[in-house]
C-alpha cells in the first residue's frame, strides 16, 4: 500500500526546471493531493496547463497560496523578497513555506520580514539541475540521489521540519542541515565559482580575435565542451546568484586567484613536479565524487535526462 500524501495542497511558485520537476515528482510519487502552480510569465502558466503537471494554475502568487499547507518558491535569487511580500498576508496559518534558492543567507534576509509568525519558514536548496530551463525541462527523477540542504532557524518546529524532510526524501533526495552562511560558502566553491569560471573561459574563447568562432566550435575538445554546457545555464538565475552570494564568491575567487598564480609560476619555470602533484590530488577528488554516487564514470557523466526540451 503506498504511503499517504504528506501535504493536502502544495503550491509551487516559479515553474522552471526545479519547480516543474517538483510538480512531476510529487505527482508521480503521490506526495500531495492537490498541486497548484503559479509563475510570473503568462506563457509559462499556459504551458504548465498544456503539460498537465499541476491540478490548478493561478495567475498571481497571492491567489495560488490560498489554502495551501505547503508553499515552495522556485524563483530567481533576487525575487524572493517581492514574492514573499505578495504572499505573506494570504498564507494559511500553520503552513510550511520553503524555497529552492541557491543562496541561503540572502533568501532568509529577503523573505523573513514578510512572513507571518504563524507559518513555518524552512529554507532549502536541492543541489540538482541541468543547463536547461523552463517548464518543459523538468523530470521526476531530477532529485534522485541528490542532496537537498536545509538551513532552518534554531527554533524551527521539529515536527514540520521532519515532515518537509520526508517530502524531499520521497522526492529522491538526501537531506543535510547547515547554517545559511556555511551553505553559501560551500556552494561558492562547489557550484558558483565553477560556473563563473565556465562563463569566463567560454567568453574568452569567443573574444579571441586570433581564433574564429567557427574554429572554436569545430575543434572543441572535451574540456571546452564541458565548459560550454555549464555556461549555457540560465543567465537570469546565475546573475542573481552571484549578486546575492557576493561575499562568499569573492572569498573563494581570491583563493582561486592565488592558486592560479601558483600554477602559472609552475608552468613558467618548468616545475613539473608541482603540476603532477596537483593533478594527482584533483584526480582523486573526481574518483571520490563517483564513489559516493554523485556522478558516474560514463562519458556523458550519467546525464541521461540532460536533453534540451522539445
For residues 152 and 135, give the distance between their C-alpha atoms in angstroms, rounded to a whole number.
28
- The verdict on 245 and 99 lying in the same domain is no
- The verdict on 147 and 29 lying in the same domain is yes
Paired strand residues for 120: 96
pLDDT at 291 > cutoff 80: no
- The verdict on 232 and 259 lying in the same domain is yes
Report, as an integer, the average pLDDT of 62-67. 97
Per-residue confidence (pLDDT) for residue 280, from 0 to 100: 87
Paired strand residues for 174: 147
Residue 27 domain boundaries: 7-178
Per-residue confidence (pLDDT) for residue 297, from 0 to 100: 58
pLDDT at 306 > cutoff 60: no
Per-residue confidence (pLDDT) for residue 25, from 0 to 100: 97
Higher pLDDT, 41 or 131: 41
- The verdict on 19 and 140 lying in the same domain is yes
pLDDT at 1 > cutoff 50: no
- The verdict on 92 and 233 lying in the same domain is no
Question: 76 in a domain, yes or no?
Answer: yes
Residues 6+ apart with CB under 8 A from 135: 15, 16, 19, 20, 39, 44, 47, 48, 51, 53
**What count of Cα atoms within 13 Å lies in the side-chain half-sphere of residue 89?**
3
Question: 289 in a domain, yes or no?
Answer: no
- Band of residue 43 on the pLDDT scale cut at 50, 70, 90: very high
Question: 231 in a domain, yes or no?
Answer: yes
- The verdict on 152 and 66 lying in the same domain is yes
Question: 168 in a domain, yes or no?
Answer: yes
- The verdict on 216 and 257 lying in the same domain is yes
Flag the least confident range among 10-14, 19-23, 204-208, 213-217: 213-217
For residues 40 and 13, give the distance between their C-alpha atoms in angstroms, rounded to a whole number.
9
For the domain that residue 220 is a member of, what is the CATH number?
1.10.3660.10
Task: List pLDDT tens digits, range 151-192.
Answer: 999 999 999 999 999 999 999 999 999 999 999 999 999 888
- Band of residue 195 on the pLDDT scale cut at 50, 70, 90: confident
For the domain that residue 64 is a member of, what is the CATH number?
3.40.50.720
Question: 275 in a domain, yes or no?
Answer: no
pLDDT at 305 > cutoff 60: no
Number of domain units in the chain: 2
Of 16-20, 242-246, 257-261, which one has max mean pLDDT?
16-20
Average pLDDT over all residues of the chain: 88
- The verdict on 167 and 196 lying in the same domain is no
pLDDT at 130 > cutoff 60: yes
Residues 6+ apart with CB under 8 A from 5: 30, 31, 32, 33
Higher pLDDT, 302 or 134: 134
- The verdict on 95 and 74 lying in the same domain is yes
Provide the pairing of β-strand 124-126 with 120-121: unpaired
- The verdict on 85 and 160 lying in the same domain is yes
Per-residue confidence (pLDDT) for residue 307, from 0 to 100: 45
pLDDT at 63 > cutoff 60: yes
Question: 207 in a domain, yes or no?
Answer: yes
Question: 305 in a domain, yes or no?
Answer: no
- How much of the chain exceeds pLDDT 90, in percent? 65
pLDDT at 301 > cutoff 50: no
pLDDT at 207 > cutoff 90: no
- Predicted model pTM: 0.83
Amino acid at each position: 500500500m503506498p504511503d499517504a500524501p504528506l501535504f493536502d495542497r502544495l503550491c509551487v511558485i516559479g515553474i522552471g526546471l526545479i519547480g516543474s520537476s517538483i510538480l512531476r515528482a510529487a505527482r508521480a510519487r503521490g506526495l500531495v493531493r492537490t498541486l497548484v502552480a503559479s509563475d510570473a510569465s503568462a506563457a509559462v502558466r499556459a504551458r504548465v496547463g498544456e503539460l498537465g503537471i499541476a491540478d490548478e494554475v493561478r495567475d498571481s502568487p497571492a491567489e495560488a497560496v490560498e489554502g495551501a499547507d505547503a508553499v515552495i518558491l522556485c524563483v530567481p535569487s533576487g525575487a524572493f523578497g517581492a514574492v514573499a511580500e505578495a504572499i505573506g498576508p494570504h498564507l494559511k496559518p500553520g503552513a510550511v513555506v520553503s524555497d529552492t534558492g541557491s543562496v541561503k543567507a540572502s533568501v532568509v534576509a529577503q523573505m523573513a520580514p514578510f512572513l507571518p509568525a504563524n507559518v513555518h519558514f524552512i529554507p532549502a536548496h536541492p543541489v540538482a539541475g541541468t543547463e536547461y530551463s523552463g517548464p518543459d525541462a523538468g523530470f521526476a527523477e531530477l532529485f534522485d540521489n541528490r542532496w537537498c540542504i536545509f538551513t532552518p532557524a534554531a527554533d524551527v518546529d521539529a515536527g514540520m521540519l521532519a515532515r518537509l524532510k520526508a517530502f524531499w526524501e520521497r522526492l529522491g533526495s538526501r537531506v543535510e542541515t547547515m547554517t545559511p552562511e556555511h551553505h553559501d560558502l560551500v556552494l561558492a566553491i562547489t557550484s558558483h565559482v565553477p560556473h563563473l569560471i565556465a562563463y569566463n573561459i567560454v567568453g574568452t574563447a569567443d573574444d579571441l580575435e586570433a581564433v574564429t568562432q567557427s574554429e572554436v566550435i569545430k575543434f572543441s575538445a572535451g574540456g571546452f565542451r564541458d565548459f560550454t554546457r555549464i555556461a549555457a545555464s540560465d543567465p537570469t538565475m546565475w546573475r542573481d546568484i552571484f549578486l546575492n552570494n557576493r561575499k562568499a564568491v569573492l572569498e573563494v575567487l581570491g583563493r582561486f586567484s592565488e592558486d592560479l598564480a601558483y600554477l602559472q609560476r609552475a608552468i613558467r619555470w618548468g616545475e613539473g613536479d608541482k603540476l603532477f602533484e596537483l593533478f594527482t590530488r584533483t584526480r582523486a577528488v573526481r574518483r571520490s565524487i563517483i564513489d559516493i554516487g554523485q556522478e558516474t564514470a560514463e562519458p556523458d557523466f550519467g546525464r541521461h535526462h540532460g536533453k534540451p526540451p522539445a
